[in-house]
Structure 1
Amino acid sequence: MAVATLGVTVLDCPDPRALAEFYAAVLGWEVKADDEDWVELNGPHGRTLAFQRSEGYQPPRWPSTDRAQQFHLDLDVDRERLDEAEKQVLALGAKLLEGDDGGKRDWRVYADPAGHPFCLCF
């Protein structure tokens, strides 16, 4: 028997609303809870991604053990849409950190506007 179930995934950031808008555009999810220090996105199947204001926030560095990533999000994309998805996340403010090594890997690594790593995977 499980001890608990996974609830909300929360990312610290300097501007919760701005980062929530980035992920809302990427995932097509809807902003539900919204105040100055906490913003939530609700997705399908009860999934919730939240953003919490953190004064003095320092983004992780990729790849590095100094200010390591600690965790990242894997976002699934159909293989034939990967290049299009990359253009879209870059236009929304993401930064490419690591490509797919000329197609040898099935993921690419990006930083969101607050510096959190995430991958587009197929």
Structure 2
Amino acid sequence: MPGTLQCVVLDCHYPPALARFYALLLGGEVDRPDPRWSLDGDWSTLHTPGGLVLAFQRVADFHPPQWPDPAHPQQFHLDVEVADLAATEREVTEHGAALLRREAGWVVYADPAGHPFCLLPAASA
């Protein structure tokens, strides 16, 4: 029997700030009231325009991944397709993202909590 994905949860030091960072990148509504959970300084959410919910939970002793170091694995990452790669790179950097690596066809950044994510140029129609 298949389950239903409720949300994707990212551990971090400060949930509200990371939720706002991903709202900048993906759009959506931060901390929309939802009967499935309560919101506070230890739990924040982002309801994206596509329906996916990202949740951010405070972990007191959070240790960010150090991609591509296998001793500190990334655990997961998001691939984000964007219309204007250069403009998006400037914006995420201004809001705390750190460049990790440039690859042919995509760029790898770390969000303000250290989670890797990839920016990819939107495919031409």
- TM-score bracket, normalised by the shorter chain, equals 0.7 to 0.9
* Poorly superposed stretches of 4+, deviation over 6 Å: none
1:45 aligns with 2:44: no
Aligned-pair distance for 1:44? 2.1
Structure that is richer in helix per residue: 1
Determine the C-alpha separation between the residues in 1 that align with 2:50 and 2:120: 20
Shift of 1:70: 1.1
Task: Tell me if 1:99 matches 2:102.
Answer: yes
TM-score (norm 2): 0.86
Task: Note the C-alpha offset of 1:46.
Answer: 2.2
**Could you list the per-position Cα deviations for residues 53-105 of structure 1 after superposition, in whole angstroms to 9, with x for gaps in the alignment?**
11100000011111110110111112xx11111111101110000013xxxx2
Partner secondary structure for residue 61 of structure 1? coil
Amino acid in the other structure paired with 1:6: L
Instruction: Tell whether the 8 Å contact from 2:45 to 2:54 is kept in structure 1 after alignment.
Output: yes
**1:121 aligned partner:** 120
Alignment of 1:1-122 (within 5 A): 3-31=2-30, 32-33=32-33, 34-78=39-83, 81-100=84-103, 105-122=104-121
- When the two chains are superposed, the root-mean-square deviation of aligned CA atoms in Å is 1.3
What's the % identity of the aligned pairs?
A: 51
